[in-house]
Amino acid sequence: MARNIHIESELLDRCRTGDNEAFQALVHKLMKPAYFHALALTGNHDDAVDVSQEAFVKAWKSMSTFDTSRSFYPWYYTILKRLSLNMLRSRSRRKETAISFLPGWVEPRSADTPESRYEDRELAERVNRILNTLPVDDREILVLRDIEGYTYKEIAHILDIPDGTVMSRLYTARNRFRLRMKESGYEYA
Amino acid sequence: MNMHKPGNEDLQRLMMAVLDGEATPAQEDELNRHLNADAQLRREFDELKSIKHTTMKTRLTEPDSTLWTSYWMNTYTRIERGLGWILFSAGAILLIMFGAWELTKEWLTDPGLPVWVKTAGILLGAGTIILLVSVIREKLFLHKNERYKDIQR
């Protein structure tokens, strides 16, 4: 089930006036989607924590300019994504660990028997490996739709793009994923 | 799939809508007609369906639960430190400027110092200011023209 990202306008109004407790409530409500979305973008736990918290700091500083008649999360997500891209860029500039070598950030959802547990783990590792090789935009939309389970409307809302673009981007991402899976030796039933 | 087929993008969107259960019955019928007429398209669709089921079997790795208990405190610490640094820097800049001004005043009005030393001091100060302004201007220019600065997605 998709994580709730809705914030009541009353809470946003209180945040705008500099109410620290209101902002704490907002962070509590959004920390999980923020962290997991940052994880999808950066592919790394430490970076996801860093980027999602830094995005909250930036949002707090710019809160006075935020139009409370609009939704908070898409605005926050724009900051989150920009910081994530900066993080990825500086990581590649510093020639740090390539994303494909970072520990897994995708795991099996559930497993009933020891055999299926092993199979699911292997599959999750493969999914993880392939996701790491995809462009950020592909990874982002695949995670939002297939792993996090957001609807087209919710994805369009978060990414601030039309529904049609969500479908086009999903096709591009799934198609690239499909081809990379094939290249990795995966056999379709 | 034939990438040059007319209306290809519509077909791709249709496939996604059907895969994700967001299509109307009429759209599903339309896609079925295309799939029945094109074996290659059918294979692609089946593979995309398989991919979707595969990714849906996974979830993002749950972090240690202590992350959530300390999340707000760590965020608040960042906010607090940011504010602390701004105040610290503003205070330090003002004090340094005041100190430099007082020192310059005293130094320039000191009758015991030869004129050439005072002139050298003025030149040193002017040079430092020019270098500082030049570095700041260069940084601002680079920031404005940073290629990927505005990349959001």
Prediction ipTM score: 0.84
Helix axis angle, B8-19 to A163-183, nearest 10°: 80
Q: Are B52 and A174 in contact (CB under 8 A)?
A: yes
Q: Give the three-class secondary structure for A152.
A: helix
Q: Do B61 and A105 count as a contact with CB atoms less than 8 A apart?
A: yes
Under the banding of pLDDT at 50, 70 and 90, the label for residue A111 is low
Q: Name residue, tokens 């989607």.
A: A33
- A24 and B74 in contact by Cβ < 8 A? no
Nearest by CB to residue A108, choosing from B9, B57, B76, is: B57
Determine how many CB atoms are found less than 10 A away from the CB of residue A44.
Answer: 21
pLDDT tens digits, residue range A150-188? 999 999 999 999 999 999 999 999 999 999 999 988 887
Residue A108 host element (H or E): strand A106-108
Average pLDDT, chain A: 88
pLDDT band at A114 (very low <50, low <70, confident <90, very high): low
Mean pLDDT across the stretch A117-135?
A: 88
Q: For residue A112, what pLDDT band results from cuts at 50, 70 and 90?
A: low
Q: What angle do CA B22, A188, A139 make, to 5 degrees?
A: 55
User: A107 to chain B, minimum CA–CA distance in Å?
Assistant: 5
Q: For residue B147, is pLDDT > 70?
A: no
Does residue B94 have a pLDDT over 90? yes
Residue recorded with tokens 């799934």: A174
Q: What is the pLDDT of residues A23-75, one digit of tens each?
A: 999 999 999 999 999 999 999 899 999 999 999 999 999 998 888 888 999 99
The sign of the torsion formed by the CA atoms of A112, A182, A128, B52 equals negative
- Name which of A78, A147, A174 is nearest B48 (Cβ-Cβ): A174
B58 to A145: CB separation less than 8 angstroms, yes or no: no
A121 — pLDDT class (breaks 50, 70, 90): confident
CB atoms near residue A26 (< 10 Å): 24
pTM as predicted: 0.79
Of A2-16, B118-132, B134-148, minimum mean pLDDT range: B134-148
Domain architecture of chain A: domains with CATH? 1-105 (1.10.1740.10), 108-189 (1.10.10.10)
How far is A81 from A58, CA to CA, in rounded Å? 12
Mutate one of A136, A137, A175 to test the B interface: name it (highest B CB count within 10 A): A175
> What is the rounded average pLDDT of the residues A94-99?
59
| The two three-digit tokens of residue A57, written as one number | 């700091």
Please give the Cα distance from B52 to A145 (Å, whole number): 9
pLDDT range class, residue B1, cuts 50, 70, 90: very low
Q: Are residues A168 and B13, on separate chains, in Cβ contact within 8 Å?
A: yes
CA distance A112 to B42: 32
Distance (Å) from the alpha carbon of A69 to chain B's nearest alpha carbon: 23
| B3 pLDDT higher than 60 | no
Token pair recorded at residue A144? 């939002």
Cβ contact (<8 Å) for B61 and A81? no
**pLDDT tier at B149, thresholds 50, 70, 90:** low
| Type of residue numbered B46 | D
Q: Do residues A80 and A34 lie in contact, with contact meaning Cβ atoms separated by under 8 Å? A: yes
The pLDDT score that the predictor gives to residue B23 is 92
Q: What is the pLDDT of residues B12-65, one digit of tens each?
A: 999 999 999 999 999 999 999 999 999 999 999 999 999 999 898 899 999 999
Above 80 in pLDDT, residue B68? yes
Residue written as tokens 């695949």?
Answer: A142
Residue B142 has pLDDT above 90, yes or no: no
What's residue B2's pLDDT?
44
Query: What's the token pair of residue B71?
Result: 């999340």
The answer, yes or no, to whether residue A189 has pLDDT greater than 80, is no
Q: Show which of residues 97-116 on chain A sit within 8 Å of chain B, judged by CB atoms.
A: 104-109
Which of A82, A127, A152 lies at the smallest CB-CB distance from B152? Answer: A82
Q: Which of A150, A175, A161, A136 is nearest to B8 (CA)?
A: A175
Task: Give the per-residue pLDDT at B139.
Answer: 87
Say yes or no for a CB contact (<8 Å) between B55 and A177.
yes
The first and second tokens of residue B93, run together, are 């800049």
Give chain A's length.
189
Cβ–Cβ under 8 Å, residues A64 and A27: no
